[in-house]
Each structure stands twice: as structure tokens, then as C-alpha cells.
């Protein structure tokens, strides 16, 4: 593989810095905490880390509301700490990918402070402003993901501004070329710092419909999605006009043109649209846009062989030029160990081990969220401890994102599981405190140990890194496919249930791979018997 394409088939470990490791005792993780744990990250066998925002911010959305794109928020450290992080990570051959939140800023960003002052300043057209309707109501029916209308009245200008997320996150006007250039200049600042790539937050939200047309209503039966259940009015619309506009494709090309000046850097776009798979294909097409795209298609509650097979197959059919990236967990959704468990709560370690193998066997790159290697469950955070404005608004039907953001448990015999010497910003889950890194590292059959073993083995199988995928038609609950590269062919079988399952194998000559500790399938007479949550690999 070309050195500049290191990201193809890479395992990217996502760090939510607030919750990873605190070194100051203030209860909030920091950049020095990441540096402290680089040897641990290296031991996992991952290729890169993606770090969620650590920029200067009022923290209304915990860093996804940026007030200065070129400075580190003091709670996380300073620019010198970041420089040290880059240096120390690169010494260990770990790539650094950072979040870039381009579609919107904080309402405390100097650009917005100037823009809202009046209609005639230098930044007057840098955000999406619109006049009220004659009756004083908002200019159209667009809604915010976090609930309610997507427009906020600003008395200084006697106009509304657009916010697809919180009211404190005004949307930039990407139809203005000066805005696009300023955004690209901020990206370039971090490229010059030596970062290896960017995870681009909500990247399909950059442009809006210039005509501000109303979004059409969505039938009740179709009101589904990531947190967009029937109790969230955002699910009531087809979002045809407030995001995923055709002009955004040209901006993806501008981003790629900039990154091409820094060989070996990569762009990973987060995409959530009405047809996320089609948008992923468009945004990674032609070799002149994003390098990779990922969506929330496998971050849902649907856990069946048919759903996974159909989702990946549909992306394979439309993404003929780009490269996918898959994830089962991240900082925005319930942890997969709980979400896909038998009862939605209890964690089965064998299932977690199988899911690691499944995710690492799909065609594409992989994002794995901190704590996934420990098989952490979704924490149950009491209402009085909630920090997430999304969860506070929609409690109790939707408890928000705090349950997947609680602190990383490092030591079973340390206060707050070794995360901090102070009071943590979110409480450490009691179950997590018994499921720490220190307790799992010494157990050869633990979730952590087998996570490391699988990634080490995966790194030796080029067909898993960059090979093609071909699904085999199987009955529930078995998911089966081949991964092929040149003359190498690998059979991959997964039992997605806790019950024993039998899969017929058409191959006459295959060699089971026994070195994997989680290899649990047994073959006989053209069939493989898989115990509950078992998996089976064989060379063809």
C-alpha cells in the first residue's frame, strides 16, 4: 500500500478528550492525559486517533461550538501541549486526526459578534440571516436537531439567524466565498501544525438552500433515525433544503485540493442526510473530494444480519470510487455493548468480542470509540448529573449522549477509576469501575486482551485491510462474507445471536484459522457450527 494511503483499512481510535484522562485534578480530561496514555493506545494496535474538539469554546455543546479555531481551550491545555502530543504520537507511529467543525461556530466567535451587530459590517453576510415573515414568524419551517425551530431572533439586526443545532451554534453562510476561504485558512493552520487528517463534523450541513424553501413533511411511519424518534419534531420533515445542497460538492473539492498539498493527510466526513449512503458515495467520488465518509447507518438499533448485509451492500453498490469507514459506537449514540445486547442493557463479553471482529472485517476503515475495547456498557446517568443539553431537553424519553461520554476507567483500585484525582465532570459508572484497563490487561481472555489479539492478527491479513467484500446469502442470525485480494480469500462467519447456529459452507477446500482465541466455530461435512456470538475465519 502506498504510504500516502495509510488510512485505507486503518483502525482509528476515537478519543473524547473530556473523558479520557485528567492530569490536573479539575475532573476534565486534557491533552496531557492523552500523551500520558499514548503507550496504552499503541498497545491496542490502532493506526490513528481521532480527537474530538479541544478548541476554545464556551462548551454549550462541549467543544462543538468553537469560538477560536486556532487556540486550545485552557481546560485541555495549550498549543505547546498539542505540539508535544503530535511529536509523541508520531514517535510511536500513531497518526493524529482532529475534529473540524466547519458548518457553524459558537455565538461567541468574533465573526458572529461582529456579524450580529448590524447589517452593514464586514462580517454582515458571514452567517445565514433572514427577515421575518410579515407576521413576525421565522422565514421558513426548518427545525433544529436539538428540538424546536432552527431560527433565532436577533434584535440588533431585526433578523433571524439559522442554527441547525443549538441556538448558540449559528450556521456560517458558505455561499460567501470569503467564509469558505477563512474556513480553509483555519484548516491549513492545523495542517501546518503537523496533523495527519481531519474528521469533518456534520460536513453536509455547510450549505443551505438560498431560496430558503420549506422542507416537506415526512409521513409518521418514516420518522426514524439517530435520536430522531417521534418525540423530536426534527423527524417530522424531509431535510431537503437545510443541508446536503449541491454546492457542497465543490467545497469538498476545495478541502481536498488543500489536503493534497500535504501528502499523507486524510479527510473523513461525518454524513447524516436523507440518504446518507448515497451522499457518502457522492462526497468521496472522483478522487477529488473527501478521502472517506462515514454515516450513522450502523449506529442504529437495528441489529440483524439482513440489515448489516443490506446496508453494506447498498454502499458497495453506490460507492464505486470512494472509501468507507464503519463504526458501531461513538460519542453521539448509545454504546454498542448495550444497544445491541439481548435486552438492551446487559453486556455479554462474548458478543462484544464478536462485534470487534465483525467491525474489523468489513470492507473499509474502522472507527472504534474509547472504551469499546473494554466492552463498556451505556452508563445510566441520573437526571441531576446530566450535562448534555440534548438529553436535558428530551428527558426522559431520550436521555441524551452523556451515557456514552462518562470517564474512561483505568484502575479498579483508584478513586474515580483512575480518571481524575478531583470530581469528574460526569460520574464514573459503578459497572465501569469493575471493568477497567488494569483488571483486563492481566486477563488473557478479557475483552481488552482479545481486542488487541484480533487487531494484531487483522494487521497481517491484507485481504481484510483493502480487499473486496462479497456477501453470502445466509439465514438469520448468521452474517457471512468473503474478503478477497488478488489470490488471497478469507471466509468470515458471525453468529449474531446467543443461540447456536449452523451455516452451510459451499467451499470444498478451506483452512480454519485457529490462532484466534475467539475462533469458536467447528466445521464438519460442509457445515460450520457457531456457538452463541461465535465467529469463524478460514482461508480459501
Residues serving a catalytic function are: 201, 270
Mapping DSSP onto H, E and C, the string for 452-468 reads HHHHHHHCCCHHHHHCE
Q: 3-class SS at 85? A: helix
Cell (9 digits) for 378: 451505556
Cell of 433: 469501575
CA distances to 145, 251, 277 from 239, rounded to whole Å, are: 11, 20, 15
The tally of CA atoms less than 13 A away on the side-chain side of residue 92 is 23
What cell does 76 get?
Answer: 485541555
Three-class secondary structure of residue 259 per DSSP: helix
The Cα 358–Cα 340 span in angstroms is 13
Q: How far is CA 486 from CA 225, 468, 490, in A?
A: 38, 9, 11
Q: Is the peptide bond before 477 cis (omega within 30 degrees of 0)?
A: yes
Distance CA 393, CA 374 (A): 30
Question: How far is Cα 182 from Cα 459, in angstroms, rounded to an integer?
Answer: 39
The span from the CA of 361 to the CA of 94, in Å, is 21
DSSP states along 115-174: HTT-SSSTTTTSB-EEPPPTTS--SS--B-TTSSBSEEEETTTTEEEE-SS-TTSPBB-T
CA distance 237 to 217: 4
Q: How far, in Å, CA of 172 to CA of 102, rounded?
A: 8
Q: What are the DSSP calls for 286-326, one per residue?
A: GGSS-SEEE-STTSSS---HHHHHHHHHHHHHH-SSSEEEE
CA angle 28, 100, 336 (to 5 degrees): 65
Alpha-carbon distance of 489 to 491, in angstroms, equals: 7
Nearest Cα neighbor of 470 from 438, 441, 433, 507 is: 507
Q: At what angle do helices 276-283 and 248-259 cross, to 10 degrees?
A: 50
Cβ-contact 4, 38 below 8 angstroms: no
DSSP letter (8 states) at residue 61: T
- Residue 353: other Cβ atoms inside 10 A: 26
Amino acid at each position: 500500500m502506498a504510504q500516502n494511503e495509510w488510512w485505507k483499512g486503518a483502525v482509528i481510535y476515537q478519543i473524547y478528550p473530556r473523558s479520557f484522562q485528567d492530569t490536573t485534578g479539575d475532573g476534565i480530561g486534557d491533552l496531557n492525559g492523552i500523551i500520558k496514555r499514548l503507550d496504552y493506545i499503541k498497545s491496542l494496535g490502532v493506526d490513528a486517533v481521532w480527537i474530538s474538539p479541544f478548541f476554545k469554546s464556551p462548551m454549550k455543546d462541549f467543544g462543538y461550538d468553537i469560538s477560536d479555531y486556532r487556540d486550545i481551550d485552557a481546560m485541555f491545555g495549550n498549543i505547546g501541549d498539542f505540539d508535544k502530543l503530535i511529536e509523541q504520537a508520531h514517535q510511536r507511529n500513531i497518526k493524529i486526526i482532529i475534529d473540524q467543525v466547519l458548518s457553524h461556530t459558537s455565538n461567541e466567535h468574533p465573526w458572529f459578534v461582529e456579524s450580529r451587530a448590524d447589517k452593514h459590517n464586514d462580517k454582515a453576510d458571514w452567517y445565514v440571516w433572514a427577515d421575518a415573515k410579515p407576521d413576525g414568524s421565522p422565514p421558513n419551517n426548518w427545525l433544529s436537531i436539538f428540538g424546536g425551530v432552527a431560527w433565532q431572533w436577533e434584535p440588533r439586526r431585526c433578523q433571524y439567524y439559522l442554527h441547525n443545532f443549538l441556538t448558540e451554534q449559528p450556521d456560517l453562510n458558505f455561499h460567501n466565498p470569503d467564509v469558505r476561504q477563512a474556513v480553509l485558512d483555519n484548516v491549513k493552520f492545523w495542517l501546518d501544525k503537523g496533523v495527519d487528517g481531519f474528521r469533518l463534523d456534520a460536513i453536509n450541513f455547510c450549505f443551505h438552500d438560498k431560496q430558503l424553501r420549506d422542507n416537506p413533511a415526512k409521513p409518521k411511519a418514516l420518522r426514524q433515525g439517530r435520536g430522531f424518534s417521534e418525540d423530536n419534531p426534527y423527524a417530522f420533515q424531509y431535510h431537503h433544503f437545510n443541508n446536503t445542497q449541491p454546492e457542497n460538492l465543490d467545497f469538498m473539492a476545495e478541502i481536498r485540493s488543500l489536503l493534497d498539498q500535504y501528502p499523507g493527510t486524510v479527510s473523513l466526513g461525518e454524513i447524516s442526510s436523507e440518504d446518507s449512503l448515497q451522499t457518502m458515495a457522492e462526497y468521496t467520488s472522483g478522487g477529488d473530494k473527501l478521502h472517506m465518509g462515514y454515516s450513522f447507518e450502523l449506529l442504529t438499533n437495528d441489529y440483524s444480519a439482513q440489515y448489516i448485509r443490506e446496508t453494506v451492500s447498498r454502499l458497495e453498490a453506490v460507492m464505486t470510487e470512494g472509501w468507507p469507514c464503519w463504526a458501531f459506537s461513538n460519542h453521539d449514540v448509545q454504546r454498542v455493548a448495550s444497544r445491541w445486547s439481548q435486552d438492551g442493557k446487559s453486556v455479554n463479553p462474548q458478543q462484544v468480542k464478536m462485534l470487534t471482529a465483525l467491525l474489523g472485517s468489513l470492507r473499509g476503515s474502522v472507527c472504534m470509540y474509547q472504551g469499546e475495547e473494554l466492552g463498556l456498557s451505556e452508563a445510566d446517568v441520573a437526571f441531576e448529573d446530566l450535562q448534555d443539553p440534548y438529553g436535558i431537553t428530551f428527558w426522559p424519553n431520550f436521555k441524551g449522549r452523556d451515557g456514552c461520554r462518562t470517564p474512561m476507567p483505568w484502575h479498579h483500585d483508584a478513586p474515580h477509576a483512575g480518571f481524575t484525582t478531583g470530581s469528574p465532570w460526569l460520574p464514573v459508572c459503578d459497572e465501569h469501575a469493575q471493568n477497567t484497563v488494569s483488571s483486563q490487561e492481566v486477563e488473557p481472555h478479557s475483552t481488552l486482551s482479545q481486542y488487541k489479539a484480533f487487531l494484531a492478527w487483522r494487521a497481517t491479513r491484507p485481504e481484510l485491510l483493502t480487499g473486496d467484500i462479497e456477501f453470502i446469502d445466509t439465514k438469520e442470525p448468521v452474517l457471512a462474507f468473503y474478503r478477497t485480494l488478488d489470490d488471497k480469500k478469507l471466509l468470515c462467519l458471525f453468529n449474531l445471536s446467543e443461540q447456536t447456529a449452523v451455516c452451510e459452507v459451499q467451499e470444498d477446500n478451506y483452512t480454519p484459522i485457529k490462532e484466534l482465541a475467539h475462533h469458536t466455530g467447528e466445521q464438519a461435512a460442509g457445515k460450520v457450527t457457531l456457538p452463541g456470538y461465535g465467529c469463524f475465519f478460514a482461508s480459501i
